[in-house]
């Protein structure tokens, strides 16, 4: 059990070091919203322009950290555990 916990801790630290500040901020916002939030809510909470939010979401999706799902006129952003 400890090895699994230690491995996750190391993976988390490595992942954090590979993220930009914008990516870290977005991950934190998603975590604070129980791992699911709309793209529009992210834009409002972080006060980032829509284009910037979209770019960061694309990067995080490419890194396998989040999943983007169509949700009406916006997208639902889901944290992958």
pLDDT tens track for 17-52? 789 999 999 999 999 999 999 999 999 999 999 999
Q: Using alpha carbons, list the distances in angstroms from residue 38 to 12, 18, 21.
A: 24, 24, 20
Cβ(68)–Cβ(53) below 8 Å: no
Per-residue confidence band for 2, with pLDDT thresholds at 50, 70 and 90: low
Task: Look over the chain and give the mean of its residue pLDDT values, rounded to a whole number.
Answer: 89
> In the beta sheet, which residues pair with residue 68?
77
Per-residue confidence band for 7, with pLDDT thresholds at 50, 70 and 90: low
Q: Does the residue 7 lie in any domain? A: no
In total, how many domains does the chain have?
1
The CATH number that applies at residue 67 is 1.10.10.10
Tell me the residue range of the domain where 32 lies: 20-79
Residue from 62, 63, 42 nearest 52 by CA: 42
Residues above pLDDT 70, as percent of the chain: 85
The mean pLDDT of 61-80, rounded to a whole number, is 95
């Amino acid at each position: 059990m400890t090895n699994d916990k230690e491995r996750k801790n190391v993976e988390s630290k490595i992942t954090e070091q590979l993220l930009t500040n914008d990516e870290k901020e977005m991950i934190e916002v998603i975590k604070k919203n129980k791992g699911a939030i709309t793209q529009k809510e992210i834009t409002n909470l972080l006060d980032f322009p829509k284009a910037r939010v979209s770019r960061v979401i694309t990067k995080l999706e490419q890194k396998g950290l989040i999943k983007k799902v169509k949700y009406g006129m916006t997208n639902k952003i889901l944290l992958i555990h």
